[in-house]
Structure 1
Amino acid sequence: MNKAVRLGTALAAAALAVVGAAWPASASTTVFADDFESGSVSAWTRQRVDGNGSITVAPAPGGGSGSAARFSVPDDGASYRAEVAVNALGWGSYRFALADYLPADWVQTPTETILAQWHGYPLADGSDTKPPIALTVKDGSWRLKVHWLVDPSTVDEAVIPLGSVQFGHWNQWAFDVTWSTPTTPGAITVYRDGVQVGSYSGLNNYHQNQAPYFKTGIYRANWNPAKGIPYPTGGPDVVAWSDSVTVTQF
């Protein structure tokens, strides 16, 4: 049985609704999936922890079933990332489906936290840049941020509000992404718990040699010591959970 259907009665109904939500009529192929029942994150191409955080697999909280990936980043002035990533899957159209969970004791903050992102590569001048697409939390609200190049070194941004966060709740997400090309616009449609909560049409990546690659976990860019942004430390660890990741090409 698909694990998303075993996350509890409410989540199961939402998961089934998402699967049917505006699903393209053409044939589809699953190109990546991990429900973490292996007890590890070995299905992912790489894992990255910056600082003293951790990535573990543990029993799913909040009425979930089986195991889930737990990401933790301490508020210690040195830590800012705990993520897993899968290599680029190619250009075209994809549905990225996943469940995530923010604990009830999550500390709301204006410091933006990325929970999932589709990341590009250094620009032509060698500089790093913002992820083409990112699912973020800020001040208790979900947002989708989209970035593209205006010229070889200038990045523009669109921010799409996705509604308030329900803490202590498993969210079942689906992101239908058609990557833009230099001559054709792309599209993004976002569903949460079976309901469309956002959409975007236009440029949605940097049109590099490879399509953006997918990551999930925790990333707080403003906590990166290299940025030199002061913030109070000593608060509780930032903890988030991910589960039931499936990427389907259509």
Structure 2
Amino acid sequence: MPRVNMETVVFLALGGCAGGFVNGLSGMGTALFALTFFLLKFDPETAVALAALLAVLAGIQGMWVVRGEIRADLRRVLRFILPGLAGVPLGLLLLGRVDADLLRRLIAVSLVLYGGYFGFRKALPRLERPHRWIDRSAGFVGGVMGGLASLSGLVPVIWLSMRGWPRGETRAVLQSFNLVILLFAICGLALKGAYGRETLEAFAVVLPAGIVAAQAGIFVFHRITDAQFQRLLILLCLCLGIGMLLRDALAG
């Protein structure tokens, strides 16, 4: 891990702000935005460890926003969480076999596919049937991605965007799922020694930026409509994915 010098502090703060804001805004996506900055300075395991810890601590604030929706249908939340917990160990196993360049490209392609497909549709599909097995499958894959790259919310958010639930209910599932899955992932990373002294020193920079940015995201969440919230997040994902791919192409 590189020494935490001024340039590194800037990247840590930018990653904390980006990840914290989107977490406060949507209840997911911390790693999608934070890893863009963390992977420029740190190895994949350290970057994921930082992003996972940020997602959990920033996400605690978001849980308070949707506490009523969580209590109203706890069984639905558990339908995603329990399979997700089973997928985390597989993701942790894969983590040590992925290099930083490949991980960035995987994230970028995922963002472009998701944002490109949904970002320009006039109306998103609305699935009325329960589809409980798909809920469980999305939870499992999300758990694998959570262990691999702190991307636990990527597959669930794509699936939930087609369910047509109210914004608060969708966020209740995503926020709870991400918090539990990434907390489990953090335990696995800690057992692998990912949270050494230098990583914790780096997180001391990330946390204040992330907490303040999360509050800003929650502020915006309360002041936009459901349609604005969904469209904004999807287009942000698309722009970020394109930017990451362009940066890799120019660097090559």
Higher relative helix content: 2
More strand per residue: 1
Greater RCO, 1 or 2 (C-alpha within 8 Å, sep 6+): 2
TM-score (norm 1): 0.28
Q: TM-score, normalised by structure 2?
A: 0.28
